[in-house]
């Protein structure tokens, strides 16, 4: 019996070896497997292609130009022809008060955005989740999603009109309480609250979709179990919903931290003016003015590279910390 079994096993092994020899392509490693996969699933690769091309053209190809941060760039000599200057532009940057101020403003605005802007869509999603009337819920969602689809130029126009010293709704309301009209957009101390508030108004609704999707994924029997255990809606929100969507919150936080140096450039440009530069000028607007308006492309590239490196370090750190302490991470 044992002999029969071992003979049968040997025969199977021989067959496998013969099959391998007959089909050598399948033993040639990853490249061949990839080609096989491509032949089999080419439709998927075709669908993937536009995204890859977009990445290559708009994100990877421009990286070639990053080297001008270390060159004395001239548009006539081109990227390759311009002479190397080492860290000179970075030294210039860090001895420039306006750039240092822009870094400070970027960090302050980002911190305010993180403190007030990041929780806003979460709170909104939690509130939507508690609305039981389906029609009211849909109407409320449509209303708060709407600003996201309005162009930043129009948003800025609405804000400028709303905060206008004469006829602006905010000053009209202040007038009802006997408060003198304030020209908000020329006052440095008002820029950040208005900017952060506008950002929340524009994006909180749309941002809540991700969290609503996460809430929809929470196992309904957790709530049923809690109901039987005696939990009320408030307790269920704190003890079930929020902990259950915490991985999503952390992922979104990591992404947000990665974008901490990317304060909404268009909105700042549209809302700020020289009178508010002291609190409104951020790295991106400074780069825009120096790079495009003053033609100092190399200096602007150095500032942009600095921005990217800081963002990279931040996102790596946040991801590592999140993975270590909450078992949730982007990669």
Please give the residue ranges that form the binding site for another protein (CB under 8 A): 219, 221-222, 224-231, 235, 239-240, 243-244, 246
Shortest distance (Å) from residue 129 CB to another protein: 17
The least CB distance from residue 293 to another protein, in Å, is 51
Q: How far apart are CA 316 and CA 262, in angstroms?
A: 16
Question: What single string gives the DSSP state of each residue in 150-169?
Answer: S-HHHHHHHHHHHT-TTT-H
| Closer residue to another protein, CB minimum distance, 237 or 308 | 237
Based on CB atoms, which residue is closest to another protein, 14 or 229?
Answer: 229
Closest CA to 279 of 190, 199, 161: 190
Cβ atoms of residues 190 and 278 within 8 Å: no
Residue 278 or 328 having the CB closest to another protein: 328
Shortest distance in whole angstroms from residue 99 CB to another protein: 44
- Closest approach, Cβ 204 to another protein, in A, equals 25
Q: Given the complex with another protein, which of 22 and 132 has the nearer CB atom?
A: 132
Residue (123 or 227) nearer to another protein, CB = 227
- Angle (deg, nearest 10), helices 42-55 and 30-40: 110
Please write down the HEC assignment for all residues of 77-99. Answer: CHHHHCCECCCHHHHHHHCCHHH
For the bound state, the minimum distance from the C-beta of residue 224 to another protein, rounded and expressed in Å, comes to 5
The residues, any chain, with a CB within 8 Å of residue 269's CB and separated by 6 or more, are 285, 288
CB atoms within 10 A of CB 275: 14
Q: Would you list the DSSP string of 260-291? A: TT---HHHHHHH--GGGHHHH--HHHHHIIII
Q: How far is the CB of 118 from another protein (least distance, A)?
A: 20
């Amino acid at each position: 019996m044992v002999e029969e079994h071992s003979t049968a096993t040997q025969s199977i092994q021989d067959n496998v070896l013969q099959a391998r020899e007959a089909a050598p392509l399948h033993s040639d490693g990853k490249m061949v497997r990839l080609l096989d996969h491509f032949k089999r699933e080419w439709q998927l690769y075709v669908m993937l292609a536009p995204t890859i091309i977009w990445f290559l053209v708009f994100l990877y190809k421009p990286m070639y130009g990053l080297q001008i941060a270390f060159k004395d760039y001239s548009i006539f000599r081109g990227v390759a022809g311009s002479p190397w200057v080492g860290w000179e532009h970075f030294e210039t940057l860090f001895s420039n008060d306006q750039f240092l101020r822009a870094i400070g403003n970027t960090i302050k605005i980002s911190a305010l955005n993180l403190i007030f802007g990041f929780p806003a869509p979460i709170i909104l999603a939690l509130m939507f989740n508690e609305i039981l009337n389906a029609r009211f819920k849909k109407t409320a969602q449509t209303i708060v999603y709407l600003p996201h689809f309005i162009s930043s130029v129009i948003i800025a126009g609405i804000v400028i009109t709303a905060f206008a010293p004469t006829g602006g709704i905010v000053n009209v309301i202040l007038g009802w309480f006997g408060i003198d009209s304030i020209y908000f957009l020329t006052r440095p101390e008002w820029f950040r609250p208005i900017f952060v508030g506008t950002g929340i108004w524009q994006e909180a609704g749309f941002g809540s979709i991700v969290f609503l999707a996460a809430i929809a994924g929470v196992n309904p029997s957790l709530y049923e179990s809690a109901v039987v255990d005696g939990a009320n809606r408030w307790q269920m929100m704190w003890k079930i919903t929020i902990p259950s969507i915490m991985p999503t919150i952390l992922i979104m936080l990591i992404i947000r931290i990665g974008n901490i140096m990317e304060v909404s450039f268009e909105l700042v440009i549209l809302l700020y003016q020289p009178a508010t530069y002291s609190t409104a000028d951020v790295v991106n607007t400074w780069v825009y003015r120096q790079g495009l308006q003053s033609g100092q492309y190399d200096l602007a590239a150095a500032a942009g590279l600095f921005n990217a490196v800081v963002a990279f370090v931040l996102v790596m750190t946040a991801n590592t910390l999140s993975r270590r302490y909450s078992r949730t991470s982007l990669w």
